[in-house]
Each structure stands twice: as C-alpha cells, then as structure tokens.
Structure 1
Amino acid sequence: MALGLPYPRGLSRYTVERDLPATMPDGVTLLADRYVPAGVERPPTILVRTPYGRRGPAALANGLLFVPFGFQLVVQSARGTSGSGGEFDPLGSERDDGLVTIEWMKRQPWFHGTFATFGPSYLGYSAWATAAEAGPALKAMSLQITASSFRDAAYVGGSFALESALAWTDLTHRQQRPLGLLTAPLTSRRRAVRAARSGRPLTELDVLAGGRPMRFYQDLLANHSVTRGYWDRRDFSGTVGQVGAPVSLLGGWYDVFLPWEIKDYLALRAAGHSPYLTIGPWWHTDARHGLPGIRESLAWFRAHLQGDPSGLRSDPVRVYVTGAREWRHYRDWPPPGTRRVRWHLHAGPSDRHGLGEDGPQDHPASTYTFDPADPTPALGGPTLLGSSRPVDNRPLERRRDVLVFTSRPLRADMDVIGPVGADLFVRSDREHTDFVVRLCDVAPDGTSRNVCEGGLRLPAADGKRVGADGVRRVAVDLWPTGHRFARGHRVRVHVTSGAHPKVAANPGTGEPLATAATRMLKARQEVFHDPDHPSAIILPVAERSPEAAVPAPEEDAL
C-alpha cells in the first residue's frame, strides 16, 4: 500500500528530462523538468508551475509521488526562479506565462491530450491563473491551502497582513541565493517579526528585514487602496465559475487563505459545478496536510484522467471538527442543518463581561483605548510562515485594550461548523480605526485557546451609522471554523483593535500605508450592547450527525 491506495507493480521506476526550455513571447526562457513513468503508454500529464525550486526536497511537494501511478509530471520554474529567465514578478506573470506554457506543452510529442494541475499555496494560485482559459485538455485540478486571489489575504478586512507579506517577500528574495531554498523558510519569519516590532514606518521594513528594498512588499503597500490596475491582472476570483475542469480543494482551519479558498468553492457551486472540499486541523506550513493532499489528489486524478473513480468518497465535503477529534462528511458547505445563532455581548462588573443566547441587556457601553504605539498583539491566529497552532490567550486577556466576554459553562456539547461573524455596534473618536474579534474556547482549567478571528478597518464600505450619535453598525467576518465547545467549557469573545504584527497597527491618521510616517493617534473605543445596539457574535451551530462522524487518526488531533 502507498498513500492509502494499492501501489502499482512495475511502476516504481521513472526517467527524468531536465531543463526543458519553453520560450515566452518576450524571449525569456522558462525551464521545466519532466518525470516519465516507466512502461506506461501515453500517460496523462500533471502540470505544476512553482517559484520554489524543482529538485531536492521540493520534488515531493511538486507531485513526484504521482509518477509511479502512471502520470507524467511536468514541473516548471516560474519566471526569474531556479534557472528560468527574466525577473520574478510575484503574482504578475502567472497567467501569461502559464497559458504560453500550456500551448508549448500541447505541441510536445510526449503530450497525449489531457492534463491536470496540482499544487499548494503559490503553485495552486498559478493553476487558478490559467484555469478559465486552459481549454478542454484540462481535465482536473487539485489544489491545497490556496486561493484564486491573494488580494484579500494581503489586506485582511481592509488592514495590512504585515507579518505574512513581509516574511514571504523576504523568503522569495533569499531563496535565490546559495542554499536559500533550505535556509530562507527557517529565518524569514523571524526577521519579519523583528522588523515589524521596530516601530519604524511600514515603508522601511523591507530594508530592515532583508537588507534592501523588496519590490513586491512595496507594491503591496502602494496598492492597498487601489481598485483597478495592479490587481486586475493578479486576481482570478472573477473567473472561477468559468472553469470547466473538476476541482478538488484542501485547506486548513488555521490557514491564511481559508476564507478565500471557501469562496472559490462557493463560486464553483454557484456556477453549477460539483467541487470537493476538505478542511483539516492544519495551518499553512503544517506538514500534516502534505500526505492527505497527495492522497486526495491522486484519487482525483485517477478518477478524471484514468477513468477510475473507486478512490473518491461519496460526500464531496469532508471537515475535521477540532475539540471533537473527528471527521465529518457533508453534501455541501456550509453544512446543511446548521443554525446561525446570535450570542449577545453583555456588560458586567469590572472586566467580567458576559456572553449568551439571551437577549441584549440595558447596560452602558464597554470602553477601551487603543494605542498604536503599543499595539495590541496577536498571540495566535493564522500566519503564512511558522506555526498557527491555537495557544493560550490568557496573557492577552489581561491587557486593558482587550474586552473579554465569557459565557457560563455549557451544559452540553456545542458544535460550531461554518462561517462565523460578528455584528457590532461601535463608536470611536477616530474616523480611521480597526476592530478585531476573536472566538476562544475556555477549558475548565481556565485555558483560553483561540478558535478563529477576523478584523475590519474603518471607515469600511459596509459600516453603517445608526444615528447622529456616531454609533456605527459593522459586520466583521471571522475565519470559518469546525469546532466543538465541550460540555463544561465556556465560549469567549475578544473585541479589540489590534493583532500586531500579523496585522499592521492602524495609526489613526488615515494616511496611505506607503506614505504613513510615525505619527500615531490613540483611539477611544466603545462597544454597545443594549437593546437598541445588540452587539453579538453569530455562531453556526450544527446538529451532530453520528452517521457522518469518523474518529480521526491521532496524528490529526490538536
């Protein structure tokens, strides 16, 4: 057995053709390696385009394990990386270069008419960039921890994903140096966090982290508020519904791209397609999603390129429920049968605020002051590099700039599976400010672990003023989740205005990111929870279906 499927006899050997050249219209040559299974006539092709190298440890992530099962694998290095010519323009060249590469591939004598695309993260984005225009030869796509657009992940809720943007830019710059593919993943996040905590203006942090200006980082700063131009050729979310090939998606509850990967799934469903979706207890660089990604991709490719659907599961949606330590199978996402329940924020004495399904109470607003010179940190939550494993948030909850609302102990297990949101009534003495909402699970011993979170930068397009008193009603989208709050545990909600350095602190001045200086203004924040302003978190409470629950392997458990 291999990858959970019978290992084909006689197919363990393969040959490799190195540095196959494909010339782009501007004369730049991109290089690819082709892996060919021995003894297979007319094997279908799997195409992978990557900026992370073609050989060494990268070969396994690029899909080498598919080759013994009768697929030929073509792995091309993106422009400006690992021997391919030109300059690496992150996100900017993948559509044009990818489409030319597909046409080049179709002209080769070894191409036999059908191909699939595969890959995690940037590799998956590269596949989305060409998917709507690839033509009928594209028979399947299997993508992991990725999305058709990275724009909203760079500007989470309208803010700036500082740590991830800076770390990834540093990573891609350093990996082209000798041994960079090995060392950069280990050090880029540390350099990014150190630079982000320096207090210097955002526009200086790339030099502080990497020793020189980095184009992509500066582009992200400059195009934060741009609606046309830069992102037009880098955002493929509008064409997802036009993709004709069957699509399988795999993500993680703590992955930076999960909300937008689910949007891709929903766009495919709205267009009448039948994609598969798997969400596990993983984060972006979590090695545990590697094997499930290969296993599910292999079943997908065998079904759609080799005519063998025996490895496909019957239900298209499979999600892991943290807290319950089990997998659930559903017909669709969000899971049928969930109820969206409002849990209202209640004021309480001192810092002991309440949370519950009972209606709002007539109490004064809760207040705090956010100081961008001492920004509220994020102890956990999704990040691109490093671990996003849930952590104990009690040190954060002792800060005076974090409002904490906690329920009574639950009398029965409660499964929350689906999109999570917050409906807040707020007021600030600053026109420009942020609100961050976090959902936590509090164990009987007091440990308070983050489940999911989200934020919104004001002024926001969907923010509505309730009256002349300056109160705004704002909707904050949190990460979706699949989590059991066990009997005896408590549900907790944070409301604050920072998650630094994952999100850049809002200086309160309204200046553009690319030109903002070090001037910072404190913000006095009010959160209302009276009958006229019923602030609440909205939880998708699911009915448990024992027939759809499968105990999880121990290695999947958090």
Structure 2
Amino acid sequence: MLGELALTWTGRLSAPVLEKLLDLPEPQFTQIQTRRDIPVRMPDGVKLATDHFRPPGQDPLPAVIFRTPYDKQGIISQLWATLLARQGFQVIVQDTRGQFASEGKFDAFRQERADGLATAAWVREQPWCDGTLATAGPSYLGHTQWAVAPYIEPPLAAMCPAITTSNFTELFYPGGSFNLHNLLTWSAAVGSPEIPQAVRLLRANAHGKRVRRAMDHLPLADADNVAIGKPEPFWRTVTDHNDDDYWDEINHTAQLATLGTPVSMVTGWWDLLLVGQLRDYEELQKADCPRRITIGSWDHAKSIKTAIADSFSWLAAHLHGDASSTHRAPVRVYLQKAGQWLDFDHWPPKSSTPTPLYLQADHGLDWQAPQGDSAVDTFTYDPKNPTPVVGGPLLDARVSGQRDNASIESRSDVLVFTTSPLTKDLDLVGPVSASVYATTDSGQGDLFVRLCDVDRKGVSRNVTDGIVKLDGAAQSPVQVTMHPTGYRFARGHRLRVQVSGGAFPNHARNTGSGEPLATASRIVPIHFEIRHDEKHPSAVTLPVLHAS
C-alpha cells in the first residue's frame, strides 16, 4: 500500500484513482486551497510549522488536526489531507516540536499535551474555523490525539486514533521487560530526520542490518551509536527510565472514563500496539462513549489503508452529519485462517469463553487439568546465547507476523507442549493469557510464552505470545498477558505452547545480573524450573468462540 501511495506524488496515480482504491465517495471538490509552513507560536515562543488544506471558499468550517513527528510533507500526511479536503473537510497538518520544519527540541511523547492544546486553541481562533475540531492519524499521531482529547474544552467532535494507544509505556516495557526490537527500530528512524526519504529507501537494507547488529550490543544505552552512529535522545531516555515514574505523564488511560468524544479505531492482530488499543476500547465501552473498532489481519504498516478509509465515514458522520456509512456493529474483526469478518456488540465477544488449556506431564496439552505430582521441567537460559524468536508484532514488516518456528522449538532452552490433532475447527476471538508456575535459581529472569498453530505437515507457526519479568515469587503462578487474537485452528491441526526464558531480539535479553537495564553488561546464566502438575496447574487461557 505504501508503494501505491508513493506513486501518487510522482504523478503516476491521480487523486480519483486513489479515491477508488480506498473506496471513498465521489469527491465534492476537485480543486483545494493549500497554505504551507504557517508558523504557529506556542506559549514558550517556539513556532511549529503547519500546513492548512481546505476546499475552495472562505466560510468557516470544522477542522481536522494531524500532528506528526514524521514530516508533514511525507506521503501519508499529504495524501490523507488532500483527499479529506476533496471531500469537503478542512485539515491542519503540523510537524511536532523539534521535527522537520518546526522549531524547538523533540522530547518524544512528553511534549504533545501542551503543544496539542495550544495548537487546537490557535486553530479555533482563526476566522476560517467554526470552532469544531476533530483529530485523526495512526501510531504516534494517535498519541498526539490521546494527549489532547481528554483535556480539551470544548471537547473534540470526533477522533480517529489508529494503531495506537493512550499509554505507550505498556509498549516500552511489556510485562516489565524491554521491547528492544520495536524501540530501537523506531529510535533509529526518528534519530536521523535530516536524511531525505528517497535516500532512506535506497539505504533501507543496509540501515536495517546496522540496527539488527545494534540489538546485540551491550550495554543497551550505547546501542544507538552502533545503529546510527550517534546518541539518540529518546533511546537514552527509554533505556534509563524503565522502573520509575518518568513516563507517568504520557499515560492518559485513566481519563478515558470521562471521555464523551466519538472514537473510531483501526488496528490489526499483528500490530505492536494491539494490547493497549483494545484496553482503550474496553475503557470507552465501560464509559458508554460512542465508539467502534475494526481489527484486521494486518501488521502496523498494513493497517494504514483501512485507517484512512475508516476516518472518512467517521468524520463525515460527526462533522457533516452524514451517518450513512456508520450503521455497523461496534466491533468488527477478521477471523484469521477462516477468511471471515465477524461483527460483535461487545469486546471481548460475549460468545467467547475463557478456557484453560493445561500443560501436561508428557509435554502434551489438554483441556483437562493435569493429574499426579512432581511434573517439572528444567532448562538454562544463557544470556550469551539468548533464546531467539521469529516473527511476532513488530514495527519492521520484513520480520513481523507469522513465521516457521522450527529452529526455535528444537532448542534445549525452549519447552514445547502440543495437543493431539483437532477433530473440528477451533475458533479463538478475544484476550489470551498464560498462568505458569515458573521459578529461577536467582529470582532473576523473564518468562516468554507463545501459542503456535501446527499444520498437518508439522510446520509450527506463531499465533500470539507474551512476556513478563519475574519478581522472584516462588509460590504463585506467573501471569503472562499475551496478544489478543482472532484465529481459526483448522481440523487436523494441533495447538502448541512454547515456554522459554526470553525472545531475543524482540525483547532485550535478561542479563541475569540484576544490573540496571541501560548499563547492564555482566552475564549470569539463569536456571528455570517449570511445574505443571495437579498442585501446579500451568495453563494458557484461550478465548474459545462458540457458534451462535
């Protein structure tokens, strides 16, 4: 999709063709008015570069605000704004502080509430704005929306936060671990904004290899130098503040309880922010806030096409009064491997039942709890040779998604538990979790649990996973939050659960030393015990969907 969008700006595709590609209504206008690089002054005097798109005329109109750290002149921002303007919307696109044409210093995530509120106030003061505001955009642009929506008065008329979350801290440190692959990939990208986009594309392969090599580096605080040849401020901050209150101010989840702004969300089962976005949806659901969500089979990048199209109908309903395209179920999800879209009124679906699948003494999996005592497995996690992982919810689409797990499951530091072949299709839609009796000799360590689909040929492909940093408790089972899923295990396939002490490089290795994340370099092997008997019923809990 990104390649298709790029063609637009080289003149090889026209706006009408893109409108058909996105299945948009016929445009109301074929010509639009554009003002570029308007200097919008913040309260501290810093000026943020802002572009203004609108249909022809001078009448005051509602305005849709996009705030981006990725260059307002980029393909996605320009495309989205232009197509919205052709549909009769007025659009503001702004470079965030310290990025591209805007002044100031970029302090990732922490600056967006103040700057977003100041920008909204400026827009409302303009003679071409009627005072009605909405927001849209994916990923970090979604964060800029959540940083404003709960606090702005009068409230926003609508918002369209896609592949995002109201609390990015959960992405940084899932289960108390460190999201190495995604965070270093992002830091390396935002750390060199001066490199033109065309040059980035030409150097993408070499850049990706450098970033991957940097993931092997210890101490982690210096991995940015290996990746891009210089310190990157966000990377230094995110590695240094993993266990304090530094990031509390970017967590806006608690404010969702009082939000009344209509919200439309788009995400994918393989998006790295899925856990947080679905938690946001549940908070809005509790508050009875007008809302909807669409979950496809996509990863982060592949969700953008649907996010663009979705925003048009939501904004038309709440800014133009045209609700013709909004008559659908609040929750629409794609059931992977079944080729079906399913509609629900609630998340999680009320027709899904959380059902434990137990680890057995013979390394099987069964819906019945284990019998007998002393079923225990041991393995050693060696940070010098950290347990690897393939696929998963990654920012880098070249390595994300489902992959063959054969090389992982053959290792001595990975426990594998497998069901018998299914006698009928098994559909899962909803949250997934694990409860595992795991201890280590030192109290240090991470616990990684992955659910896989083993086909009739024996190929094992990952479906969902999760990780948690151990707290040293020996008596209670370790609770692991895994990514939600919508997935069909076909008749004749088997379910498989992996249990290990890490998932490198998706998550940073646990060095076993107890040293601070940023500076840890001493390596200490970690010896694990995993119990799964009658007194220690370790299990994964699956959202089994029952036919209506």
What TM-score, normalized to structure 1? 0.91
For residue 399 of structure 1, the aligned residue among 386, 399, 411 is: 411
For residue 455 of structure 1, the aligned residue among 456, 467, 470 is: 467
Gaps in structure 1 of 5+ consecutive residues:
467-471, 546-558
Gaps in structure 2 of 5+ consecutive residues:
1-18
Match of 2:8 in 1: none
Q: How big is the shift at 1:337?
A: 1.5
State the Cα deviation string for residues 214-245 of structure 1 (Å, max 9, x = none).
1111111111000x2x2132222222223221
C-alpha separation between the residues in 2 aligned to 1:130 and 1:187?
Answer: 38
C-alpha separation between the residues in 1 aligned to 2:206 and 2:63?
Answer: 35
The more displaced of 322-331 and 64-73 is: 64-73
Q: How big is the shift at 1:56?
A: 4.3
One-letter amino acid matched to 2:323: P
Match of 1:145 in 2: 163
Q: How big is the shift at 1:29?
A: 0.4
C-alpha separation between the residues in 1 aligned to 2:327 and 2:335?
Answer: 18
- The change in CA–CA distance for 1:431 and 1:521 in structure 2 (over 3 A counts) is same
The answer to whether the Cα contact below 8 Å between 1:171 and 1:185 also exists between their aligned partners in 2 is no
Q: How big is the shift at 1:293?
A: 1.1
The answer to whether the Cα contact below 8 Å between 2:53 and 2:81 also exists between their aligned partners in 1 is no
- The change in CA–CA distance for 1:137 and 1:158 in structure 2 (over 3 A counts) is closer
Match of 1:205 in 2: 223
- The change in CA–CA distance for 1:537 and 1:40 in structure 2 (over 3 A counts) is farther
Match of 1:247 in 2: 263
C-alpha separation between the residues in 2 aligned to 1:450 and 1:117?
Answer: 35
Q: How big is the shift at 1:197?
A: 2.1
For residue 163 of structure 1, the aligned residue among 151, 166, 181 is: 181
C-alpha separation between the residues in 2 aligned to 1:282 and 1:107?
Answer: 39
State the Cα deviation string for residues 362-417 of structure 1 (Å, max 9, x = none).
25201211101100111111112234120111111101111010000000111011
Aligned residue for 1:375, secondary structure, equals coil
Match of 1:525 in 2: 528
C-alpha separation between the residues in 2 aligned to 1:393 and 1:266?
Answer: 32
Match of 1:344 in 2: 358
1:87 aligns with 2:102: no
Aligned residue for 1:534, secondary structure, equals coil
1:514 aligns with 2:526: no
For residue 26 of structure 2, the aligned residue among 1, 4, 7 is: 7
Aligned residue for 2:235, secondary structure, equals helix
Match of 1:278 in 2: 294
C-alpha separation between the residues in 2 aligned to 1:392 and 1:380?
Answer: 8
- The change in CA–CA distance for 1:187 and 1:242 in structure 2 (over 3 A counts) is farther
The answer to whether the Cα contact below 8 Å between 2:60 and 2:127 also exists between their aligned partners in 1 is no
The answer to whether the Cα contact below 8 Å between 2:179 and 2:506 also exists between their aligned partners in 1 is yes
What TM-score, normalized to structure 2? 0.93
Aligned residue for 1:513, secondary structure, equals coil
**1:133-532 alignment, distance < 5 Å:** 133-179=151-197, 182-183=200-201, 188-198=207-217, 200-226=218-244, 228=245, 230-286=246-302, 289-348=303-362, 353-362=363-372, 364-387=375-398, 388-459=400-471, 465-466=474-475, 472-517=476-521, 519-532=522-535
- The change in CA–CA distance for 1:413 and 1:301 in structure 2 (over 3 A counts) is same
The answer to whether the Cα contact below 8 Å between 1:24 and 1:30 also exists between their aligned partners in 2 is yes
Match of 2:11 in 1: none
C-alpha separation between the residues in 2 aligned to 1:248 and 1:179?
Answer: 30
C-alpha separation between the residues in 2 aligned to 1:187 and 1:50?
Answer: 26
The answer to whether the Cα contact below 8 Å between 1:22 and 1:31 also exists between their aligned partners in 2 is yes
Percent of aligned pairs sharing the same letter = 41
C-alpha separation between the residues in 2 aligned to 1:347 and 1:112?
Answer: 67
Aligned length in residues = 526
For residue 539 of structure 1, the aligned residue among 534, 539, 542 is: 542
C-alpha separation between the residues in 1 aligned to 2:488 and 2:199?
Answer: 39
Match of 1:552 in 2: none
Aligned residue for 2:375, secondary structure, equals coil
Q: CA RMSD in A?
A: 1.7
One-letter amino acid matched to 1:486: A
Match of 2:120 in 1: 102
Aligned residue for 2:40, secondary structure, equals strand
